[in-house]
Amino acid sequence: MAHDTPGPSPHRLLSRIDSPADLKGLPLPDLHALAEEIRSFVIDGVCHSGGHLGPSLGVVELTIALEYVYDFTRDRLVWDVGHQCYPHKILTGRRDRFSTLRQFGGVSGFPKREESLYDHFGTGHAGTSVSAALGMAVARDASGDDYSVLAVLGDGAASAGMIFEALNHAGDVGTGLTVVLNDNAWSISKSVGGMAEYLNRLITTPAYNKLRSELWRITGLLPSDSKTRARKMAHLFQESVKNLLVPGTMFEELGFRYIGPVNGHSLATLIRTFKYVRSLPGPVLVHVVTQKGKGYAPAESDGQKLHGVGPFDREKGPPPDSGGMTFTKVFGATLVELARHDSRIVAITAAMPSGTGLDLFGQEYPSRFFDVGIAEQHAVTLAAGMATGGLRPVVAIYSTFMQRAYDQVVHDVCLQNLPVVLAMDRGGLVGEDGPTHHGVFDLSYLRPIPNLVIVAPSDEAELQRALVFALEHDGPVALRYPRGKGPGIALAKHPRPLELGQARMLRRGGDVAFIGVGPIVYDTLEAAGILSDRGIQACVLDCRFVKPLDEAAVISAAAGVKLIVTVEDNALSGGFGGAIAELFMNRPGHAPIVRIGVPDSFVPHGALPILRERLGMIPQRMASTVEDALAAR
């Protein structure tokens, strides 16, 4: 009986790479082949689990070159944002676990110190890498050591203000530090702003690039014993005329030695460059030009759609939008319609027009739309300035990234009681992106701020009404809503505004009072149904407003019940449940209070149903919590 002969392994080289040390002896042709195997492996893995595809495909050669030249058991490497790190994870001992990417208990989608000795700094928000790397370099100097420290910027992180602060300080300190600027012209959307334009001028200066190429070609014709010295002299000459030919020398004025632009997909050039850079003293910036999504046609042609994706078919590509109105789409569409009748409305985002639903607004009203890049602090204070001039600014930023603008929210918006709408998408748990992206602290960090109204609508129609209210309110409003779809409540053609601080009763019952905010109140309705089948009658109060609380409605709902249960998709410390507990603190005779929410710990990455079940946020667990609490009385 004949047997088919198995074909060659699609990952012949990669299957032998258990650590970066296994790269060291590979000849250049094998490194090229390895790069293609890694790309294929990344695509297969992301097809299975979802993840950040485009950013990781763009840095395959860069990652190989860094791991080839440096020894990151000793040297230090910080990935900015971190979603470029899939090739790094694959080459540093996590290849066999890569199929668990972003799954509960599996490999994180971001660098994570406790996951590997090769992950030297945990990242998930843009702009932190140079500060962290400089701190490592200072610690190295203090200990008298001599290892190399590198930071890899990418996906628009260079627009973050913290990067400029760190570059300014690093140039002043003057210690050995290498900043690798992975210039792919994208964050999640196309990079915007002066830095993007500056980098584009650097890579499109014909005279400078021609000079570099010719000097390298000519010196390459010399005998080997003269080539090295000639190329060093050529480099010095090249540096001396750079100021004449390159439009701006910002990095060098900051104290960095600028090298580039370098082809980020040429392994030979990258390896040669980093071997040279490794020997240089002081701070160095290596400008590497890459293509986001390199090697996978759909990702090359649509850098935004393939930036981060769910599981998909490799051959067919990501499926088309399944339709249905997510909270983000409801927000975006409603804002467009409201702006049609109010020319004062302007919209601001921090490098996430599509992620926040403001791409619709930008298409409809381009002169009233402002994408400021990865600069949340600037976005909030920009809105404050606009508000002083009579505009009605809406700043749409993910909850987790609004943390970065906390001082601006307090000092520039709320202290001056300005009518700015803070639209916080991704409020609550977000799933596979994990602890750096869960928006579970916003209610806690916003609730203490005077003048700020906090609204957490529970469904699509309530979000419409909340946005109308927020734009009519003469003061700051934080509007918080989750990722994904709501319960499917029909939208209103002409939504009426919510009334300030007014709750609504969704279900009546005299044994237990469920008091909540946000879409999780629909889970409490299911929990109340489960309890009803077991002979326990529960009311459900949707507070809508975290601040100000509808105190009369809360007190009325809690009157005579055996148990008060607060429910929120937020940290219990300082959150909505804390506000309810504070209300009853000086009211004797109330029922015991049980709070359901996020405990005082960081929530790991994983599918939302798994996380919510573990945290007791699903109807069955809520019902069990109530029964246990009643039995313990």
Confidence of residue 228 (pLDDT cuts 50, 70, 90): low
Q: Do 276 and 373 have their domain in common?
A: no
Asked about 404 being catalytic, the answer comes back as: yes
Asked if 184 and 61 count as a contact pair (C-beta separation under 8 A), the reply is no
SS3 63: helix
Asked if 460 and 413 count as a contact pair (C-beta separation under 8 A), the reply is no
Instruction: Provide the pairing of β-strand 177-183 with 421-425.
Output: unpaired
352-400: pLDDT as tens digits? 999 999 999 999 999 999 999 889 999 999 999 999 999 999 999 999 9
Task: Give the active site residue among 89, 140, 231, 292.
Answer: 292
Handedness of CA 68, 72, 74, 77 (dihedral sign): positive
515 lies in a domain? yes
Last residue of a domain, one of 255, 284, 301: 301
Asked if 348 and 379 count as a contact pair (C-beta separation under 8 A), the reply is yes
Number of domains making up the chain: 3
Average pLDDT score, the chain: 88
313-360: pLDDT as tens digits? 666 666 666 667 899 999 999 999 999 999 999 999 998 999 999 999
Q: For residue 296, which phi and psi values (nearest 5 degrees)? A: -135, 105
Q: For residue 420, which phi and psi values (nearest 5 degrees)? A: -115, 135
* Residue with token string 């300030």: 500
319 lies in a domain? no
Confidence of residue 232 (pLDDT cuts 50, 70, 90): low
Q: Do 419 and 520 have their domain in common?
A: no
Q: Do 453 and 525 have their domain in common?
A: no
So what's the pLDDT on residue 201?
A: 53
Asked about 376 being catalytic, the answer comes back as: yes
* Residue 545: its H or E element: strand 545-547
607 lies in a domain? yes
* DSSP annotation string for 167-225: HHHHHHH--SEEEEEEE-SBSSSB--SHHHHHHHHHHT-HHHHHHHHHHHHHHHTS-HH
Q: How many other CB atoms are there within 10 angstroms of residue 127's CB atom? A: 25
Q: Do 63 and 124 have their domain in common?
A: yes
Dihedral (C-alpha) 135, 139, 144, 145: value to the nearest 10 degrees?
-70
Q: What are 578's two structure tokens?
A: 């804390």
311 lies in a domain? no
Distance between CA 616 and CA 569 in Å, rounded?
Answer: 11
Q: Do 343 and 471 have their domain in common?
A: yes
Please check the confidence at residue 52 and state whether its pLDDT lies above 50. Answer: yes
Mean predicted confidence (pLDDT) in 7-28: 84
Please check the confidence at residue 233 and state whether its pLDDT lies above 80. Answer: no
Least confident of 290-294, 616-620, 626-630: 290-294
Please check the confidence at residue 496 and state whether its pLDDT lies above 80. Answer: yes
So what's the pLDDT on residue 241?
A: 53
210 lies in a domain? no
So what's the pLDDT on residue 3?
A: 41
Task: Give the active site residue among 61, 376, 462, 568.
Answer: 376
So what's the pLDDT on residue 214?
A: 62
491 lies in a domain? no
Mean predicted confidence (pLDDT) in 64-88: 93
- The amino acid sitting at 446 is L
Q: 400, 399, 426: which is closest to 608 by C-alpha?
A: 426
Handedness of CA 372, 81, 352, 405 (dihedral sign): negative
Task: Give the active site residue among 404, 426, 483, 595.
Answer: 404
* Residue with token string 């001082």: 407
Confidence of residue 248 (pLDDT cuts 50, 70, 90): very low
Q: What are 365's two structure tokens?
A: 């009203």
Q: Do 160 and 57 have their domain in common?
A: yes
So what's the pLDDT on residue 531?
A: 98
* Residue 568: its H or E element: strand 563-571
- The amino acid sitting at 390 is G
Q: Do 398 and 462 have their domain in common?
A: yes
Distance between CA 147 and CA 162 in Å, rounded?
Answer: 24
Please check the confidence at residue 409 and state whether its pLDDT lies above 50. Answer: yes
499 lies in a domain? no
Q: Do 396 and 431 have their domain in common?
A: yes
Q: Do 354 and 443 have their domain in common?
A: yes
Q: Do 333 and 295 have their domain in common?
A: no
Last residue of a domain, one of 284, 301, 318: 301
Q: Do 399 and 527 have their domain in common?
A: no
Q: Do 335 and 463 have their domain in common?
A: yes
Asked about 102 being catalytic, the answer comes back as: no
Model-level pTM?
0.85
391 lies in a domain? yes
Q: What is the CATH number of the domain that holds 431?
A: 3.40.50.970
Strands across the sheet containing 504-507: 504-507, 538-542, 512-516, 563-571, 593-598
412-435: pLDDT as tens digits? 999 999 999 999 999 999 999 999
HEC-encoded secondary structure of 58-102: CCHHHHHHHHHHCCCCCCEEEECCCCCCHHHHHHHHHHHHHHHCC
Confidence of residue 189 (pLDDT cuts 50, 70, 90): very low
Last residue of a domain, one of 464, 480, 496: 480
Q: What is the CATH number of the domain that holds 522?
A: 3.40.50.920
* Residue 582: its H or E element: helix 576-584
Q: For residue 146, which phi and psi values (nearest 5 degrees)? A: -140, 25
Asked if 477 and 455 count as a contact pair (C-beta separation under 8 A), the reply is yes
Distance between CA 531 and CA 562 in Å, rounded?
Answer: 14
Please check the confidence at residue 71 and state whether its pLDDT lies above 70. Answer: yes
So what's the pLDDT on residue 49?
A: 77
Q: How many other CB atoms are there within 10 angstroms of residue 40's CB atom? A: 16
Write out the residue range of the structural domain in which residue 381 sits: 327-480
Q: What is the DSSP letter of 70?
A: S
List helix spans (H) across 79-160. 86-89, 129-143
Please check the confidence at residue 566 and state whether its pLDDT lies above 50. Answer: yes
Mean predicted confidence (pLDDT) in 90-98: 92
Distance between CA 549 and CA 576 in Å, rounded?
Answer: 10
Percent of the chain with pLDDT over 70: 84
Mean predicted confidence (pLDDT) in 552-557: 97
